[in-house]
A = this chain, B = another copy of it.
Amino acid sequence: MDSTTNGTRTMTYIEAITDGLRTEMRRDPDVLVMGEDIGGDFGGAFKATQGLEAEFGARRVMNTPMTELAFIGAATGMGLMGLRPVIEVQFADFISTGFDSIVQYAATTHYRWQAPVPWVIRAPADGGIRSGPFHSQNPEAWFVHTPGLKVVAPATPADAKGLLLAAIRDNNPVIYFESKPLYRSLRGEVPEGDRATPIGRARIAREGHHVTVITYGEMVRQALLAADGLAPEITVEVIDLRTLKPLDRDTVTASVRKTGRAVVVHAANRLAGVGAEIAADLGQTSFEYLDAPICRVGGLDVPVPFSPPLEDAYRPGAGDITAAIRETVAY
Protein backbone atom coordinates (compact mmCIF):
# COMPACT_ATOMS: atom_id res chain seq x y z
CA MET A 1 0.00 0.00 0.00
CA ASP A 2 1.25 3.49 -0.74
CA SER A 3 0.30 7.11 -1.54
CA THR A 4 -2.86 8.48 -0.03
CA THR A 5 -4.71 10.88 -2.33
CA ASN A 6 -7.89 12.53 -1.10
CA GLY A 7 -9.36 9.55 0.72
CA THR A 8 -8.02 6.87 -1.55
CA ARG A 9 -4.91 4.70 -1.42
CA THR A 10 -3.11 2.76 -4.09
CA MET A 11 -3.30 -0.93 -3.31
CA THR A 12 -3.01 -4.26 -4.96
CA TYR A 13 -6.15 -6.32 -5.36
CA ILE A 14 -5.20 -8.58 -2.47
CA GLU A 15 -4.23 -5.69 -0.20
CA ALA A 16 -7.68 -4.33 -0.85
CA ILE A 17 -9.21 -7.60 0.30
CA THR A 18 -7.21 -7.52 3.51
CA ASP A 19 -8.14 -3.89 3.97
CA GLY A 20 -11.79 -4.80 3.54
CA LEU A 21 -11.57 -7.55 6.14
CA ARG A 22 -9.79 -5.28 8.58
CA THR A 23 -12.27 -2.46 8.03
CA GLU A 24 -15.22 -4.69 8.79
CA MET A 25 -13.59 -6.43 11.73
CA ARG A 26 -12.85 -3.05 13.28
CA ARG A 27 -16.34 -1.80 12.65
CA ASP A 28 -18.31 -4.84 13.77
CA PRO A 29 -17.27 -7.22 16.57
CA ASP A 30 -19.58 -9.88 15.11
CA VAL A 31 -17.39 -10.24 12.03
CA LEU A 32 -14.87 -13.07 12.20
CA VAL A 33 -12.77 -14.93 9.66
CA MET A 34 -12.37 -18.68 9.47
CA GLY A 35 -10.74 -21.20 7.21
CA GLU A 36 -7.70 -23.36 6.67
CA ASP A 37 -4.33 -21.86 7.57
CA ILE A 38 -5.66 -18.33 7.82
CA GLY A 39 -4.42 -17.64 11.34
CA GLY A 40 -1.17 -16.67 12.96
CA ASP A 41 1.66 -14.99 11.13
CA PHE A 42 0.98 -17.30 8.25
CA GLY A 43 -2.22 -15.58 7.22
CA GLY A 44 -3.54 -17.99 4.64
CA ALA A 45 -2.31 -19.58 1.44
CA PHE A 46 -2.38 -16.15 -0.21
CA LYS A 47 -1.73 -14.08 2.91
CA ALA A 48 -5.05 -12.31 2.67
CA THR A 49 -5.59 -12.61 6.42
CA GLN A 50 -2.04 -11.81 7.47
CA GLY A 51 -1.95 -9.52 10.46
CA LEU A 52 -5.57 -10.10 11.43
CA GLU A 53 -4.88 -12.49 14.27
CA ALA A 54 -2.31 -10.10 15.69
CA GLU A 55 -4.88 -7.32 15.70
CA PHE A 56 -8.07 -9.19 16.54
CA GLY A 57 -6.96 -12.32 18.38
CA ALA A 58 -7.42 -16.00 17.71
CA ARG A 59 -11.07 -15.90 18.72
CA ARG A 60 -11.91 -13.85 15.63
CA VAL A 61 -9.40 -15.50 13.30
CA MET A 62 -10.12 -19.19 13.41
CA ASN A 63 -7.91 -21.83 11.86
CA THR A 64 -10.06 -24.79 10.95
CA PRO A 65 -9.32 -28.41 10.14
CA MET A 66 -9.58 -29.38 6.46
CA THR A 67 -13.32 -30.02 6.65
CA GLU A 68 -15.22 -27.70 4.36
CA LEU A 69 -18.64 -29.20 5.06
CA ALA A 70 -18.22 -28.79 8.78
CA PHE A 71 -16.83 -25.29 8.82
CA ILE A 72 -19.17 -23.86 6.22
CA GLY A 73 -22.05 -25.51 8.05
CA ALA A 74 -20.72 -24.09 11.31
CA ALA A 75 -20.58 -20.66 9.73
CA THR A 76 -24.24 -21.06 8.87
CA GLY A 77 -24.99 -21.79 12.51
CA MET A 78 -22.94 -18.82 13.62
CA GLY A 79 -24.75 -16.67 11.09
CA LEU A 80 -28.11 -17.84 12.38
CA MET A 81 -27.02 -16.76 15.85
CA GLY A 82 -26.15 -13.28 14.58
CA LEU A 83 -22.44 -13.47 13.82
CA ARG A 84 -21.02 -12.61 10.40
CA PRO A 85 -18.40 -15.18 9.50
CA VAL A 86 -16.18 -14.64 6.50
CA ILE A 87 -15.00 -18.04 5.36
CA GLU A 88 -11.92 -18.55 3.26
CA VAL A 89 -11.89 -21.69 1.18
CA GLN A 90 -8.25 -22.19 0.33
CA PHE A 91 -8.93 -22.33 -3.39
CA ALA A 92 -12.30 -21.81 -5.09
CA ASP A 93 -11.85 -25.36 -6.38
CA PHE A 94 -12.46 -26.69 -2.86
CA ILE A 95 -15.83 -25.02 -2.59
CA SER A 96 -17.30 -28.18 -4.09
CA THR A 97 -16.25 -30.04 -0.95
CA GLY A 98 -18.66 -27.95 1.09
CA PHE A 99 -21.35 -28.00 -1.57
CA ASP A 100 -24.31 -29.30 0.44
CA SER A 101 -23.71 -26.79 3.20
CA ILE A 102 -23.93 -24.02 0.63
CA VAL A 103 -26.47 -24.96 -2.03
CA GLN A 104 -28.81 -27.04 0.09
CA TYR A 105 -28.65 -25.59 3.59
CA ALA A 106 -27.56 -21.96 3.52
CA ALA A 107 -29.17 -21.10 0.19
CA THR A 108 -32.64 -22.29 1.14
CA THR A 109 -32.92 -21.32 4.78
CA HIS A 110 -34.43 -17.89 4.48
CA TYR A 111 -36.99 -19.00 1.95
CA ARG A 112 -38.02 -21.92 4.12
CA TRP A 113 -38.10 -20.52 7.63
CA GLN A 114 -37.16 -16.87 7.26
CA ALA A 115 -33.89 -17.08 9.11
CA PRO A 116 -31.07 -15.04 7.61
CA VAL A 117 -27.69 -16.64 6.98
CA PRO A 118 -25.25 -13.75 6.79
CA TRP A 119 -21.97 -15.32 5.81
CA VAL A 120 -19.47 -14.68 3.05
CA ILE A 121 -17.32 -17.29 1.38
CA ARG A 122 -14.14 -15.87 -0.07
CA ALA A 123 -13.14 -18.16 -2.91
CA PRO A 124 -9.76 -17.58 -4.59
CA ALA A 125 -10.65 -18.50 -8.13
CA ASP A 126 -9.33 -18.30 -11.67
CA GLY A 127 -6.35 -19.54 -13.51
CA GLY A 128 -3.74 -18.52 -16.00
CA ILE A 129 -1.05 -19.12 -13.41
CA ARG A 130 -0.06 -22.73 -14.13
CA SER A 131 -1.86 -24.28 -11.22
CA GLY A 132 -3.57 -27.15 -12.96
CA PRO A 133 -7.11 -28.51 -12.93
CA PHE A 134 -7.69 -28.17 -9.19
CA HIS A 135 -6.31 -24.77 -8.40
CA SER A 136 -7.63 -22.81 -11.38
CA GLN A 137 -11.38 -23.27 -11.46
CA ASN A 138 -14.10 -20.67 -11.91
CA PRO A 139 -17.13 -22.48 -10.50
CA GLU A 140 -19.51 -19.51 -10.29
CA ALA A 141 -22.13 -20.96 -12.65
CA TRP A 142 -23.07 -23.67 -10.14
CA PHE A 143 -23.97 -20.99 -7.64
CA VAL A 144 -25.62 -18.55 -9.99
CA HIS A 145 -27.97 -21.35 -11.00
CA THR A 146 -28.79 -22.09 -7.36
CA PRO A 147 -31.66 -20.12 -5.83
CA GLY A 148 -30.95 -18.24 -2.62
CA LEU A 149 -27.32 -17.27 -3.02
CA LYS A 150 -25.67 -14.04 -4.01
CA VAL A 151 -22.49 -14.10 -6.06
CA VAL A 152 -19.97 -11.32 -6.59
CA ALA A 153 -16.71 -11.19 -8.53
CA PRO A 154 -14.63 -8.02 -8.21
CA ALA A 155 -12.38 -6.93 -11.06
CA THR A 156 -10.55 -4.04 -9.39
CA PRO A 157 -8.94 -3.30 -6.05
CA ALA A 158 -11.65 -0.75 -5.29
CA ASP A 159 -14.36 -3.33 -5.82
CA ALA A 160 -12.36 -6.04 -4.11
CA LYS A 161 -12.75 -3.94 -1.00
CA GLY A 162 -16.14 -2.43 -1.77
CA LEU A 163 -17.88 -5.67 -2.67
CA LEU A 164 -16.36 -7.41 0.32
CA LEU A 165 -17.80 -4.76 2.62
CA ALA A 166 -21.20 -5.09 0.95
CA ALA A 167 -21.05 -8.86 1.10
CA ILE A 168 -20.23 -8.90 4.79
CA ARG A 169 -23.08 -6.49 5.54
CA ASP A 170 -25.54 -8.43 3.44
CA ASN A 171 -27.89 -10.68 5.39
CA ASN A 172 -27.63 -13.50 2.88
CA PRO A 173 -25.03 -16.08 1.98
CA VAL A 174 -22.71 -14.39 -0.49
CA ILE A 175 -19.99 -16.10 -2.48
CA TYR A 176 -17.15 -13.75 -3.27
CA PHE A 177 -14.98 -14.97 -6.11
CA GLU A 178 -11.51 -13.48 -6.07
CA SER A 179 -9.31 -13.63 -9.13
CA LYS A 180 -5.90 -15.02 -8.16
CA PRO A 181 -4.11 -13.65 -11.25
CA LEU A 182 -5.12 -10.16 -10.13
CA TYR A 183 -3.84 -10.51 -6.55
CA ARG A 184 -0.48 -8.84 -6.94
CA SER A 185 -0.54 -7.80 -10.56
CA LEU A 186 -3.33 -5.26 -10.39
CA ARG A 187 -3.01 -2.05 -8.45
CA GLY A 188 -5.55 0.68 -8.16
CA GLU A 189 -7.04 3.43 -6.08
CA VAL A 190 -9.12 2.17 -3.19
CA PRO A 191 -11.34 4.41 -1.09
CA GLU A 192 -10.35 4.50 2.57
CA GLY A 193 -12.87 3.64 5.24
CA ASP A 194 -16.15 1.98 4.61
CA ARG A 195 -17.32 2.71 1.10
CA ALA A 196 -19.21 -0.38 0.00
CA THR A 197 -19.87 -1.26 -3.64
CA PRO A 198 -23.56 -2.12 -3.80
CA ILE A 199 -24.36 -5.71 -4.70
CA GLY A 200 -26.35 -6.01 -7.91
CA ARG A 201 -25.01 -3.02 -9.79
CA ALA A 202 -22.71 -3.35 -12.75
CA ARG A 203 -20.16 -0.74 -13.76
CA ILE A 204 -19.37 0.71 -17.15
CA ALA A 205 -15.64 0.17 -17.10
CA ARG A 206 -15.17 1.95 -20.42
CA GLU A 207 -17.61 3.72 -22.68
CA GLY A 208 -17.89 2.91 -26.34
CA HIS A 209 -20.30 2.85 -29.22
CA HIS A 210 -19.68 -0.05 -31.52
CA VAL A 211 -20.02 -3.06 -29.30
CA THR A 212 -20.56 -3.98 -25.67
CA VAL A 213 -18.30 -6.46 -23.92
CA ILE A 214 -19.93 -7.92 -20.82
CA THR A 215 -17.58 -9.61 -18.42
CA TYR A 216 -16.22 -9.81 -14.86
CA GLY A 217 -13.14 -10.69 -12.83
CA GLU A 218 -9.80 -10.82 -14.58
CA MET A 219 -11.49 -10.78 -17.97
CA VAL A 220 -12.34 -7.11 -17.40
CA ARG A 221 -8.63 -6.38 -17.64
CA GLN A 222 -8.38 -8.50 -20.77
CA ALA A 223 -11.39 -6.75 -22.29
CA LEU A 224 -9.92 -3.35 -21.55
CA LEU A 225 -6.67 -4.43 -23.21
CA ALA A 226 -8.63 -5.55 -26.23
CA ALA A 227 -10.54 -2.28 -26.28
CA ASP A 228 -7.28 -0.31 -26.10
CA GLY A 229 -5.94 -2.17 -29.06
CA LEU A 230 -9.07 -1.58 -31.14
CA ALA A 231 -9.45 2.12 -30.42
CA PRO A 232 -10.06 4.48 -32.04
CA GLU A 233 -11.21 2.44 -35.01
CA ILE A 234 -13.68 0.49 -32.90
CA THR A 235 -14.90 1.89 -29.60
CA VAL A 236 -15.79 -0.80 -27.13
CA GLU A 237 -18.08 -0.40 -24.15
CA VAL A 238 -16.86 -2.68 -21.39
CA ILE A 239 -19.27 -3.68 -18.66
CA ASP A 240 -17.82 -5.03 -15.46
CA LEU A 241 -20.72 -7.02 -14.00
CA ARG A 242 -19.31 -7.01 -10.46
CA THR A 243 -22.28 -9.08 -9.25
CA LEU A 244 -23.29 -12.31 -10.95
CA LYS A 245 -26.33 -12.96 -8.83
CA PRO A 246 -28.48 -10.93 -8.92
CA LEU A 247 -27.45 -9.79 -12.40
CA ASP A 248 -27.78 -6.13 -13.27
CA ARG A 249 -29.80 -6.79 -16.38
CA ASP A 250 -30.76 -3.13 -16.76
CA THR A 251 -27.23 -1.85 -17.23
CA VAL A 252 -26.39 -4.67 -19.61
CA THR A 253 -29.54 -4.26 -21.64
CA ALA A 254 -29.24 -0.48 -21.92
CA SER A 255 -25.70 -0.73 -23.20
CA VAL A 256 -26.45 -3.44 -25.74
CA ARG A 257 -29.49 -1.58 -26.97
CA LYS A 258 -27.19 1.37 -27.50
CA THR A 259 -24.38 -0.47 -29.30
CA GLY A 260 -26.47 -3.17 -30.96
CA ARG A 261 -23.72 -5.69 -30.51
CA ALA A 262 -22.54 -7.81 -27.60
CA VAL A 263 -19.65 -10.07 -26.70
CA VAL A 264 -19.96 -11.97 -23.43
CA VAL A 265 -16.72 -13.13 -21.86
CA HIS A 266 -15.64 -15.22 -18.92
CA ALA A 267 -12.72 -17.40 -17.97
CA ALA A 268 -15.04 -20.13 -16.70
CA ASN A 269 -16.02 -22.94 -19.01
CA ARG A 270 -18.16 -21.37 -21.68
CA LEU A 271 -20.62 -24.27 -21.92
CA ALA A 272 -23.69 -23.53 -19.82
CA GLY A 273 -21.75 -20.82 -18.03
CA VAL A 274 -23.03 -17.51 -16.70
CA GLY A 275 -22.43 -16.01 -20.13
CA ALA A 276 -25.12 -18.25 -21.57
CA GLU A 277 -27.65 -16.67 -19.24
CA ILE A 278 -26.60 -13.19 -20.26
CA ALA A 279 -26.65 -13.97 -23.97
CA ALA A 280 -29.97 -15.80 -23.75
CA ASP A 281 -31.52 -12.99 -21.78
CA LEU A 282 -30.31 -10.32 -24.19
CA GLY A 283 -31.50 -12.40 -27.11
CA GLN A 284 -34.94 -12.47 -25.61
CA THR A 285 -35.21 -8.91 -24.31
CA SER A 286 -33.27 -7.02 -26.97
CA PHE A 287 -33.98 -9.00 -30.12
CA GLU A 288 -34.90 -5.94 -32.15
CA TYR A 289 -31.81 -4.07 -31.12
CA LEU A 290 -29.24 -6.63 -32.12
CA ASP A 291 -27.27 -5.95 -35.28
CA ALA A 292 -25.17 -9.08 -34.92
CA PRO A 293 -25.27 -12.39 -33.10
CA ILE A 294 -24.15 -12.26 -29.51
CA CYS A 295 -20.77 -13.85 -29.31
CA ARG A 296 -19.66 -15.81 -26.25
CA VAL A 297 -16.03 -16.21 -25.30
CA GLY A 298 -15.04 -18.56 -22.50
CA GLY A 299 -12.99 -21.50 -21.35
CA LEU A 300 -13.17 -24.73 -23.32
CA ASP A 301 -15.31 -27.66 -22.16
CA VAL A 302 -12.20 -29.20 -20.63
CA PRO A 303 -10.73 -29.36 -17.11
CA VAL A 304 -8.26 -26.49 -16.79
CA PRO A 305 -5.02 -28.01 -18.05
CA PHE A 306 -1.72 -27.44 -16.30
CA SER A 307 0.93 -27.08 -18.96
CA PRO A 308 1.39 -23.51 -20.25
CA PRO A 309 0.61 -24.14 -23.92
CA LEU A 310 -2.48 -26.10 -22.99
CA GLU A 311 -3.69 -23.62 -20.43
CA ASP A 312 -3.20 -20.80 -22.89
CA ALA A 313 -5.25 -22.71 -25.44
CA TYR A 314 -7.94 -23.34 -22.84
CA ARG A 315 -8.21 -19.85 -21.42
CA PRO A 316 -9.55 -16.79 -23.22
CA GLY A 317 -7.49 -13.63 -23.30
CA ALA A 318 -7.31 -10.21 -24.92
CA GLY A 319 -6.53 -11.79 -28.28
CA ASP A 320 -9.65 -13.94 -28.27
CA ILE A 321 -11.75 -11.01 -27.15
CA THR A 322 -10.29 -8.84 -29.89
CA ALA A 323 -11.11 -11.46 -32.50
CA ALA A 324 -14.65 -11.84 -31.19
CA ILE A 325 -15.19 -8.09 -31.22
CA ARG A 326 -13.87 -7.75 -34.76
CA GLU A 327 -16.11 -10.53 -35.95
CA THR A 328 -19.13 -9.10 -34.19
CA VAL A 329 -18.53 -5.60 -35.45
CA ALA A 330 -17.84 -6.80 -38.98
CA TYR A 331 -21.07 -8.79 -39.07
Contacts and interface: CB of A to CB of B under 8 A. Distances in A.
Interface of A: 93, 96-97, 99-100, 103-104, 107-108, 111-112, 133-134, 141-142, 144-148, 245, 269, 271-277, 279-281, 283-285, 287, 290, 292-296, 300-303, 305
Contacts of A271: 144-145, 147, 245, 277
29 contacts: A96-B100, A97-B100, A99-B100, A104-B134, A108-B133, A111-B133, A111-B305, A112-B303, A141-B141, A141-B145, A141-B272, A142-B145, A145-B272, A146-B269, A147-B301, A147-B303, A245-B271, A272-B277, A276-B277, A276-B280, A277-B280, A279-B283, A279-B284, A280-B294, A283-B293, A284-B293, A284-B296, A287-B292, A287-B293
Task: Name which of A100, A269, A277, A302 has the most chain B CB atoms within 10 A of its CB.
Answer: A277
Quick one: copies of this chain in the complex? Answer: 2
Contact of A296 (B269, B280, B287, B290): B280
A164 B95 CA distance: 31
Given A294-B284, A296-B280, A302-B111, A272 B99 contact: no
A293 to B, nearest CB: 4
Contact of A294 (B146, B273, B283, B296): B283
A137 B306 CA distance: 34
A107 B294 contact: no
A276 B141 CA distance: 12
Nearest to A144: B272
A274 B274 CA distance: 11
A321 to B, nearest CB: 15
A283 B316 CA distance: 21
A244 to B, nearest CB: 9
Contacts of A277: 271-272, 276, 280
Nearest to A290: B287
Given A141-B272, A276-B276, A283-B283, 5 more contacts: A99-B100, A141-B145, A142-B145, A145-B272, A283-B293
